[in-house]
Chains A and B, each alone.
Chain A
Amino acid sequence: MAKQEQVSLTGNEAVAYAFKQARPHVASAFPITPQTEMMHKFADFVANGEVDTEMILVESEHSAMSAAVGAAAAGARVITATSSAGFALMWEIVYVAASLRLPICMALVNRALSGNINIHCDHSDAMGGRDAGWIHLFCESAQEAYDNALMAFRIGEHPDVRLPVMINYDGFIISHTADSLRMLSADDAWKFVGPYKAAYSVLDTENPITVGPLDLTDYYFEHKVGEIEAHKRAFDVVRAVSAQYGALSGRGYDFFESYRLDDAEIAIVLMGSTAGTAKDVVDAHREKGVKAGLLKLRLFRPFPAAELAKALAGKKAVGVMDRAASFGAWGGPLFTEVRSALYGADRQPPVLNWIYGLGGRDCDLRQIDSVLERLADAARGKSGETVNLLGVRL
């Protein structure tokens, strides 16, 4: 295992260090809270000559992603970052990046979408882009944000995958909170990430290519098959890269983390920083003799439906906590995915949903406690609402 330094950094700083260690050729970005500090830190590294990156300061997020796509099509390793409304403005080109199979790495520092305008955390930005073709990793802490940011390059750039990767971490809760984490040395990180060799480059005049041509009824659908298949192949790559990173760092990762889940009768499923709070509540219930557990999803796209169904098979009740609303839908986006994955699966448990934490509303111990109490009731056969709101004044 590699020797590592114990450091105190915010999530934004941690990701900036990971990006520096991956030595990207190009970074394009436009500031938006709470992402700004990450690119600010990275720009410091560039200005100080600590990393040889072409820093492109653009006039909008639409331009940031456009510049990223152009640079990646030229064969560069490219990073960018955004949040909330910035991600919404990039949206058109977010799809293009995945369609062109360009492994851009982006920090999406999760923040609520307008309106009304709000700068705090929820996952509505990420959920708006869940069908765009990117790989989505979610993080519980600054440590996980750092680790996932390093692994993102290896996953996205793998020849079997070649897809852009989003590193999602909660605005302010992770991005601006100083956390203690272990960081690889620059040499070890570089040995792990390694150089990037693009399959094609628009600047290779010996082998001219056309990128993004008109693609109508005769070929568009076949090209989408490429994206669908790449996501299927990404599972093996995520697992292999995570195993290699685990051996290097001592921190193992998989599609999700199972916390006291194996023998659990009731279980919570969620993503992001709330997992830390949920683990404490699970522990408290365990001390009372309640067999509670947690499934913290790390890989949201591609969605590991089969593994998730296996991990939750036979539970007496499962509660999915969504930090985003999907207006007019029956439940939040994570709930519909989880319930769909479990439908028809072996020993299918009942699945309930809580939508929580919108606009940065704190999710405290009592809220998660109430979820576990309700799940215990459901496990005993007591009926109630399937889709619920948590921590809001009704």
Chain B
Amino acid sequence: MTLKRAHELPAGGIIVEAGNADAYNTGDWRTFKPEFVAENCIHCMFCWIYCPDTAVNIDTTAEKSRMIGFDYDHCKGCGICAQHCPPAAKGKAAIVMVRDEK
């Protein structure tokens, strides 16, 4: 991403473009990252609801939405999705936190 020069910015450091966080990579702070284990997923969408960012990718084209993986450009590795994953309680986690080796 090309950084703008001082005179190209709106006064007061405000952001006038809605939703521009999408273009800002905040996924490089992670220590751990969630890994998706597709065969254990029941597609309950809890991870999508609980994600403090918008880092859970879902497919909404089917009749019932489906969890398909993570947006690692924005996932900060907080692990809340893994904590709330119902299959994990039965020992068949669909989200597993692993050390992020970059």
**Cβ contact of B13, chosen from A162, A207, A212, cutoff 8 A:** A212
Q: How far is the CA of A58 from the CA of B91 in the complex (A)?
A: 54
> By the criterion of a CB under 8 Å from any partner CB, how many residues of chain B are at the interface?
14
**Is A284 engaged at the interface, CB distance under 8 Å to the other chain?**
no
Which residues 241-270 in A have Cβ within 8 Å of B in the complex? none
**Cβ contact of A222, chosen from B5, B15, B16, cutoff 8 A:** B5
User: What are the residues of chain A within 8 A of B13 when measuring CB–CB?
Assistant: 99-100, 212-213, 215, 219-220, 223, 226
Most interface-central of B7, B9, B14, B16 (chain A CB within 10 A): B14
User: What are the residues of chain A within 8 A of B5 when measuring CB–CB?
Assistant: 222
A-B contacts counted at CB < 8 A amount to 52
A100/B9 contact (C-beta < 8 A), A218-B3, A219-B3, A222-B4 known: no
**Is A136 engaged at the interface, CB distance under 8 Å to the other chain?**
no
Judging by beta carbons under 8 Å apart, are A209 and B16 in contact?
yes
B-side interface mostly: loop
Q: How far is the CA of A174 from the CA of B9 in the complex (A)?
A: 41
Across the interface, name the chain A residue whose C-beta is closest to B26: A214
Q: How far is the CA of A211 from the CA of B11 in the complex (A)?
A: 11
Q: How far is the CA of A102 from the CA of B4 in the complex (A)?
A: 23
Q: How far is the CA of A197 from the CA of B80 in the complex (A)?
A: 44
Q: What are some 19 contacts across the A-B interface (CB < 8 A)?
A: A99-B12, A100-B14, A102-B12, A200-B12, A200-B14, A200-B16, A210-B14, A210-B15, A211-B12, A212-B13, A215-B13, A219-B3, A220-B13, A222-B4, A222-B9, A223-B13, A226-B9, A226-B12, A226-B13
Judging by beta carbons under 8 Å apart, are B15 and A213 in contact?
yes
Range class of the A interface residue count: 20 to 34
Residues 40-79 of chain A: 1 if any B CB is under 8 Å from the residue's CB, otherwise 0?
0000000000000000000000000000000000000000
User: What are the residues of chain A within 8 A of B10 when measuring CB–CB?
Assistant: 200
**Is B89 engaged at the interface, CB distance under 8 Å to the other chain?**
no
A343 to chain B, nearest CB (A): 28
Residues 191-217 of chain A: 1 if any B CB is under 8 Å from the residue's CB, otherwise 0?
000000001100000011111110100
User: What are the residues of chain B within 8 A of A213 when measuring CB–CB?
Assistant: 13, 15
**Is A225 engaged at the interface, CB distance under 8 Å to the other chain?**
yes
Across the interface, name the chain B residue whose C-beta is closest to A218: B3
Judging by beta carbons under 8 Å apart, are B6 and A209 in contact?
no
Residues 1-39 of chain B: 1 if any A CB is under 8 Å from the residue's CB, otherwise 0?
001111101111111101000000000000000000000
Across the interface, name the chain A residue whose C-beta is closest to B9: A222
Judging by beta carbons under 8 Å apart, are B11 and A226 in contact?
yes
User: What are the residues of chain B within 8 A of A88 when measuring CB–CB?
Assistant: none
Q: How far is the CA of A362 from the CA of B13 in the complex (A)?
A: 44
Residues of A whose CB lies within 8 Å of any CB of B are: 99-102, 162, 199-200, 207-213, 215, 218-220, 222-223, 225-226, 229-230
Judging by beta carbons under 8 Å apart, are B18 and A208 in contact?
yes
Q: How far is the CA of A100 from the CA of B12 in the complex (A)?
A: 4
Q: How far is the CA of A17 from the CA of B10 in the complex (A)?
A: 34
User: What are the residues of chain B within 8 A of A208 when measuring CB–CB?
Assistant: 18
Q: How far is the CA of A100 from the CA of B11 in the complex (A)?
A: 7
Given contacts A101-B11, A226-B9, 20 further A-B contacts (CB under 8 A): A99-B13, A162-B12, A200-B10, A200-B14, A207-B16, A208-B18, A211-B14, A212-B13, A218-B3, A219-B3, A219-B4, A220-B13, A222-B5, A223-B12, A223-B13, A225-B7, A226-B12, A226-B13, A229-B6, A230-B11
User: What are the residues of chain A within 8 A of B14 when measuring CB–CB?
Assistant: 100, 200, 209-212
User: What are the residues of chain B within 8 A of A101 when measuring CB–CB?
Assistant: 11-12
User: What are the residues of chain A within 8 A of B18 when measuring CB–CB?
Assistant: 208
User: What are the residues of chain B within 8 A of A199 when measuring CB–CB?
Assistant: 11
Judging by beta carbons under 8 Å apart, are B12 and A219 in contact?
no
A102 to chain B, nearest CB (A): 7
Judging by beta carbons under 8 Å apart, are B6 and A162 in contact?
no
User: What are the residues of chain B within 8 A of A200 when measuring CB–CB?
Assistant: 10, 12, 14, 16
B70 to chain A, nearest CB (A): 22
Q: How far is the CA of A36 from the CA of B18 in the complex (A)?
A: 42
Q: How far is the CA of A213 from the CA of B9 in the complex (A)?
A: 14
B38 to chain A, nearest CB (A): 34
B85 to chain A, nearest CB (A): 29
User: What are the residues of chain A within 8 A of B7 when measuring CB–CB?
Assistant: 225
B5 to chain A, nearest CB (A): 7
Across the interface, name the chain B residue whose C-beta is closest to A215: B13
Q: How far is the CA of A213 from the CA of B14 in the complex (A)?
A: 7
A88 to chain B, nearest CB (A): 24
